[in-house]
Amino acid sequence: MSPTDHQPKQLKDDPAKDRLVRKSERMDEFVSLLGQTERQLFIYLKSRMPCSSDADDLLQETNVILWREFDSFKQGTNFTAWAYRIAENQVRAARKRQQRDRLVFSESFLDAISKELTAESERLERRSVALGDCVQRLPPHHRELIERRYQSGDAVDRLAEHLRKSPDAVYRILSRIRHTLHDCVTSSLAKGEC
């Protein structure tokens, strides 16, 4: 057998090759752009809907739509801005679904936050970078708690059970840790560490 026989679906003489290559290149481009934006997109969605895990699902839905609509994205324009617009539509649709049975923020409030997030995006990025370091500086038991809260997604009640503390006590500790992290990040940026 010849060396090239092994290549899966060799396209050398296939008339559809060019089209497939273009599609492949387009997919590569999309994935690359999404790779650069996806984290910001998630943080944007989560910042808009902080009290639920809907941001995870919204990110997935948004990604699917972004790929579906990718043909309408003009090369050379701002992919992140385009993605934010599509994400925003997902947030609004989700809010409508939620309004029936859940607590949600008002439209005007969300608009104001959205503007602030966009206007302050660079500064907030710097805060995110410093946050990783601040988490590492937490005392071990605090770091473990914050890991369980955010990595395992354990709710306060479950954390309380695990730590044999009351839910209120755990709630207060988490509050303190968030406060500590916020101060740490602010002070890191002030010192120009990041």
Partner 1 sequence: MSTEHESSDLSDLCDAVFEDRATPEQVQQLEELVLSSPDLKRQYVELVHQHASLSWSVVEGEPLDTPPKSVADASSIPIVGLNSKVTSAQTGRRAYWPVGAIAIAATVIITLLTPLFWVDGGGSDKTVASLASTKNCLWRATDLPTANGSRLFSGRMTLVEGLATIRFDHGVDVNVEAPADFEIVATDQICLNFGRLVATAERGAEGFTVRTPTAKLIDQGTEFGVVVGDDGVSDVVVFDGLVEAQIDVTGDSRFLETGERIRISSANVTSLDEGDDRIPGKIRQGVATDKNTIQISTALGRGQDAYIQRQLFADAQHTSATLLLLKNSLGERTAQQRYAKGFDRKAYLRFDLSLIDDHEVKAADLALHFAPTGFGFASRLPDATFAVYGLADDQLDDWPERDLNWENAPGNNVGNTEVRDEVAVLLGRFVVPQGQASGIFGVRGLPLRDFIRSDTNGLLTMVVVRETASVSLGGLVHGFASHRHPELPPPTLRVTTTDKTK
Find the binding residues for partner 1 in span 33-52 (CB under 8 A): 34-40, 42-47, 50-52
Q: Residues 86, 163, 169, 194: which binds partner 1 (CB under 8 A)?
A: 194
Distance, in Å, from the CA atom of 1 to the CA atom of 189, rounded to the nearest integer, reads 63
The answer to whether 183 contacts partner 1 (rule: CB under 8 A) is: no
CB of 152 to partner 1, least distance (A): 5
- Mapped onto helix, strand or coil, the DSSP state of residue 69 is coil
CB of 9 to partner 1, least distance (A): 7
| Of 66 and 94, CB closest to partner 1 | 66
Nearest residue to 185 (alpha-carbon basis) of 123, 114, 141, 139: 123
The answer to whether 81 contacts partner 1 (rule: CB under 8 A) is: no
The answer to whether 163 contacts partner 1 (rule: CB under 8 A) is: no
Tokens of 167: 């839910």
Nearest residue to 55 (alpha-carbon basis) of 40, 43, 73: 43
Kindly indicate which of the ranges 71-79, 82-90, 93-101, 124-132 contains the residues binding partner 1, using the contact rule CB under 8 A.
124-132
- Mapped onto helix, strand or coil, the DSSP state of residue 3 is helix
The answer to whether 141 contacts partner 1 (rule: CB under 8 A) is: no
The answer to whether 72 contacts partner 1 (rule: CB under 8 A) is: no
The number of angstroms, rounded, from the C-alpha of 141 to the middle of its chain's C-alpha atoms is: 26
Find the binding residues for partner 1 in span 84-103 (CB under 8 A): 103
The answer to whether 182 contacts partner 1 (rule: CB under 8 A) is: yes
| Of 72 and 136, CB closest to partner 1 | 136
Please write down the HEC assignment for all residues of 101-143: CCCCCCHHHHHHHHHHHHHCHHHHHHHHHHHHHHHHHCCHHHH
